[in-house]
Structure 1
Amino acid sequence: MFTGIVSGAGTVLDVTHNQEQSLAVLRLHAPGHASDLDLGGSIAINGVCLSATSNDGETLSLDVMGETLQRTTIGELRAGDRVNLERCTPAGARLDGHVVQGHVDTVGTVLARTDHGQWTKFRVGLPAAYAPFVAEKGSIALDGISLTVTAVSAARDAEHWVEVGIIPITLRETTMGQRQVGDRINIETDVLAKYVARLRGFEVQD
């Protein structure tokens, strides 16, 4: 489990795709995050929970399966890209963000970025199928960052979106500071909303 409190940044070294096996290997420089990460241990990369397959203390390799490549932006990463990093939450630690599984639901697109001096508002579009899982003042994880939803589209709208406000430290320390209109971004909706929907018989229709 994660909390969506990004603890640092990593740099992509390369992504190697194996089309026959529907698999990719992500290799990245992760200073301060790799030294005590055991093989098979979990780390969130832009909100995607992945397991370390090799580790020399600063450089990690992680296998990415086809389902993850299909649902997230991991397969779009290129050498030199900056990524958000978060290690899994130890038992007894403070839950400063919200419950984040690292199980990305879908990919959204930045529709608007409005700078307000000390903070920035982002509007992110998301597929209609996932709009019911988002509520104003609820929680959402964008590229692994725990954020509070400040506004949502109306249920009857043709285009579905969420808005979030980003404070300076988050702009500075995460990838959100680099995000521009048109950028694709990983979205994980609130797990509680998904379980409630499941119990009520609601099925996601992609």
Structure 2
Amino acid sequence: MFTGIVEELGFFKTQNPAGLHIGAKLVLESLKVGDSVAVNGVCLTVTRFDSSSFHADIMPETLRLSNLGKLPFNSPLNLERAITLNGRMGGHLVQGHIDGTARLVSSVPEGNAHVLTFETDKNLTRYMVHKGFVAVNGVSLTITALQETRFSVSLVALSRKSTNLGLIKTGDTVNIETDIIGKYVEKLFRPERGISPEFLAENGF
């Protein structure tokens, strides 16, 4: 589990059938084989590491749903270690399980921030709400505008500087993880679960 607060910008070194090789520094502190690291929001398991990089396995499913299979050499990567129970919860609960991707369609300055608007599938926006959470390349952000296949977020200067969202260009693809709460609520309201608005009303909810 992660918070969506990026710890450092690593970089993509190589990819092979066995996984990814990622350059890093901060996240290597106290790292152990088997630990989880969010890479552009994707939860990956560390298989080996040295003083300047780590290797992580990657599944075909991950390559299908994320942008990790499309990155050029030396691409900057948002990195975050898994949270500990005694740590602060700065963002929101992020699983590192990518739901799909979105494409940047515009970046507009607004005061000391930039408003980023993304195009994505309505199967992802169905789990988004205005002022709700979304993880974009692993960064915990608040949705400021929402349409059927588009959503916007506002990025402050610190987030632009400390994550790769400050480097993306129109047309670039980012990883999206929607808030897990919406998925659970939808499942509970499916007819086969026996819970509906009428059922809740009849039982005092």
Structure 1 length-normalised TM: 0.89
Q: CA deviation at 1:201?
A: 2.3
Q: CA deviation at 1:28?
A: 1.1
The CA distance in 1 between the partners of 2:171 and 2:187, in whole Å, is: 31
Is there any run of 5+ residues in structure 2 with no aligned partner, and where?
192-205
Q: Secondary structure at the match of 2:103?
A: strand
Task: Name the residue aligned to 2:124.
Answer: 130
The CA distance in 2 between the partners of 1:185 and 1:196, in whole Å, is: 26
Q: Residues 29-178 of structure 1: matches in 2 within 5 Å?
A: 29-153=23-147, 155=148, 160-178=149-167
Post-superposition Cα deviations, 1:78-132, rounded to whole Å, max 9, x if no partner, equal: 2211000000000021111001000010001001111225210000111011111
Task: Name the residue aligned to 1:9.
Answer: 9
Contact in 2 for aligned 1:12/1:82 (Cα 8 Å):
yes
The CA distance in 1 between the partners of 2:78 and 2:167, in whole Å, is: 12
Structure 2 length-normalised TM: 0.90
Indicate whether 1:185 and 2:174 are aligned.
yes
The CA distance in 1 between the partners of 2:73 and 2:124, in whole Å, is: 31
The CA distance in 1 between the partners of 2:73 and 2:190, in whole Å, is: 43
In the alignment of these two chains, the number of paired residues is 191
The percent identity for this pair of structures is: 34
Contact in 1 for aligned 2:7/2:26 (Cα 8 Å):
no
Q: Secondary structure at the match of 1:146?
A: strand
Post-superposition Cα deviations, 1:139-190, rounded to whole Å, max 9, x if no partner, equal: 000000000000100x5xxxx1110000000000100111111000000000
Task: Name the residue aligned to 2:195.
Answer: none
Q: Which amino acid aligns with 1:54?
A: R
Q: CA deviation at 1:11?
A: 1.1
The CA distance in 2 between the partners of 1:137 and 1:148, in whole Å, is: 5
Contact in 2 for aligned 1:35/1:57 (Cα 8 Å):
no
Q: Which amino acid aligns with 1:109?
A: R
Task: Name the residue aligned to 2:201.
Answer: none
Q: Which amino acid aligns with 1:165?
A: S
Is there any run of 5+ residues in structure 1 with no aligned partner, and where?
19-23
Bigger mean CA offset, 130-139 vs 112-121:
112-121
Q: Secondary structure at the match of 1:64?
A: coil
Task: Name the residue aligned to 1:21.
Answer: none
